[in-house]
Amino acid sequence: MSLVSVAKAIADKKLSSREVTQSCLDRIAQWQPRVNAFMAIEAEAALAAADAADAALAKGKNSGPLHGVPLAHKDMYYEAGKVVTCGSKIRRDFVATTTSTALQRLKDAGSIRLGSLQMVEFAYGPTGHNVHYGAVRNPWNVDHITGGSSSGSGSAVAARLTFAALGSDTGGSIRMPAHFCGVTGFKTTVGRVSRAGAMPLSQSLDTVGPLAQTVEDCALLLGLMAGADPEDPTASTLPVPDYVTATKGSLKGLKIGVPTAFYVDDLDSEVARVLDETIAVLKKEGAEIVKVELPDQRQLTAACQLVLATEATTFHKRWLIERPQDYGAQVLMRLQNGLAIPAVSYLEAMRWRGPALAAYFAAVTGTDAVIAPVAPMPAVTIAESDVGNSLDAEAVIQRITKFTRPVNYLGLPSLSIPAGFTKSGLPVGMQLIGRSFDEAGLLRIGAAFQRATDFHQRYPAWHE
Amino acid sequence: MTRPGPKEVKAMTDVAGVPADKEVAERIATSIGPAFDGFAAVAGTLPFDLEPASFLLVQTAKVSK
């Protein structure tokens, strides 16, 4: 069941929150030893919260659109009184004293907490490896990566251990696990969702967003989380549209751009096939497909790296001095990279963001979205991508994230949708890249695609 | 814009207060070098009056199609 359907079933008293929560806990007990998606499982507290939700509903008290729905989120969203590890050894015992705005808004809508989800150490890595807590595994094939850094979120949603999960996307960390694990993931426009109480990685690039089974699920969650927040002055004050209603529209009259270069170069043959098939579906559903010549995306990738590396290193500088031995080798290496970027280079990259975004908009004028692969390849194996801090590690990372980073640099929204499978049964996702704050437009396209396909409804089988 | 070599990286990490040894400096230079190469065509070409905040103006000015 999707998030939207289970929330309705609970609200209509066709299912109790306890039944739903117990069902999630049963699946978690079965899958967790295999996929390592959870950081903490809080079964007793979850069932108590479910009973309270059922009791409230029996008295006619419905706390919101997520009443009694069990969820788990990436372990970087602060919740007062809870340990929030951020996937790290350094914060193994860190107890939050505040609750993140995004999380609080989902709690206010009635959701209950199953526990917390694994992630890459400090959200700084695209594969899902974690030397402190073990790699998260892809439920479609446990020898393969989930993608990161929202590794637990991708794995848990794919294995149907939670109905949805918060992730975060600074360089591709929602879209990557969505692509590799076969779920829907939504990287929002910078500023669309408050980042208050979310572990920072890069203040200019960090975004909060959901991973879920369907586009409609993402629309529901985004509508609950988006909007101004006094705790985060960078959160936009633009009005929040009705995202769920946006999912009902058709593709007729919409124009979708297909890049002529970069995003279509050097693709794995099966990713290229899925891209062609996705375009065919969009066309069949009524969209007009046009070619777009984008500005040099490699420059955007480079600028993104200059910004991200500098800002991440700045956040971590104190621990780099005091506790370098407590970082995993790869994360330490990547944080050290930021030490070698002159302030002038960083600020040039920041100054160029406006003109770069204007040039992108000029290139896509007249289109409603651009379609592109999330990554050039399906999920590689955990073994082959376990590059640690080797000399070629950054090159491997850059190859995996080459299609996501330009979007982060430009601060654009991007919706990753399950779009097909490889012959060996690994999922392949495609990203729809939109205009700033036009999340509604992407949800419309993504939902129409999901009405015409069933990739989002498939989930990995349990094999003894 | 020139990518820093291990020697420059070593000096920069010293100045930053997080000194790197020779091996780490070499690794940093290898890792970050492509970003400098990729941005080289833009570096040093931006107009005088360009504010970093222009990004926010472009972002909000282009909400509609």
Contact state of A349 with B57 under an 8 Å Cβ cutoff? no
Identify the residue whose tokens are 């490699």. Answer: A298
Neighbouring C-beta atoms of residue B54, cutoff 10 Å: 17
Q: How many C-beta neighbours within 10 Å does residue A341 have?
A: 24
- Mean pLDDT, residues B21-29 taken together: 95
**Mean pLDDT (chain B, rounded):** 91
B33 occurs within a structural domain: yes
Report the number of distinct structural domains present in chain B: 1
In a domain, A432, yes or no: yes
Nearest to A309 among B17, B32, B60 (CB): B32
Residue A463 lies in a domain: no
* A251 domain residue, yes or no: yes
d(CA A395, nearest CA chain B) in Å: 7
Q: Are A2 and A66 in contact (CB under 8 A)?
A: no
Question: Number of folded domains in chain A?
Answer: 1
Query: Does B52 lie at the interface with A, CB-CB under 8 angstroms?
Result: yes
Whether B47 is in a domain gets the answer: yes
Does residue B52 form part of some domain?
yes
Whether the predicted pLDDT of B63 surpasses 70: no
**C-alpha B56: how far from chain center:** 21
Q: Which residues contact A432 (CB under 8 A, 6 or more apart)?
A: A256, A369, A370, A371, A414, A415, A417, A442, A445, A446
pTM of the model: 0.97
Q: B3 in contact with A at a CB cutoff of 8 Å?
A: no
**Mutate: best of B15, B30, B32, B57, partner A, most A CBs <10 A:** B32
Tokens of A49: 């919260």
- Report chain A residues whose CB lies below 8 A from the CB of B46: 348, 351-352, 355
What amino acid positions of A are annotated as catalytic residues? 74, 149, 173
Six token digits for residue A289: 């497909």
Q: Please check the confidence at residue B64 and state whether its pLDDT lies above 80.
A: no
Inform me whether the pLDDT recorded for B4 exceeds 90. Answer: yes
Put simply, whether A278 touches B (Cβ < 8 Å) is no
Domain range for A435: 3-457
pLDDT of residue A304: 97
Q: Does A347 touch chain B (CB under 8 A)?
A: yes
**Looking at the predicted structure, is the pLDDT value of residue B62 above 70?**
no
B1 part of a folded domain: no
Range of the domain at B19: 6-61
Query: In the prediction, which pLDDT does A339 show?
Result: 97
Please state the ipTM of this predicted complex.
Answer: 0.96
pLDDT for residue B5 is more than 70: yes
What CATH number is associated with residue A167? 3.90.1300.10
Minimum CA–CA partner of A255 in chain B = B65
Q: Is residue A94 part of a domain?
A: yes
Query: pLDDT below 70 — which residues of chain A?
Result: none
Q: What is the pLDDT of residue A37?
A: 98
Are A406 and A431 spatial neighbours (Cβ–Cβ below 8 Å)?
no
Contact B63 A190 (CB under 8 A): no
Q: What is the predicted pLDDT for the residue at A371?
A: 98
Which residues of chain B does A436 touch, with a Cβ-Cβ cutoff of 8 Å? 59-60, 62-63
The answer to whether the CB atoms of A302 and B63 lie below 8 A apart is no
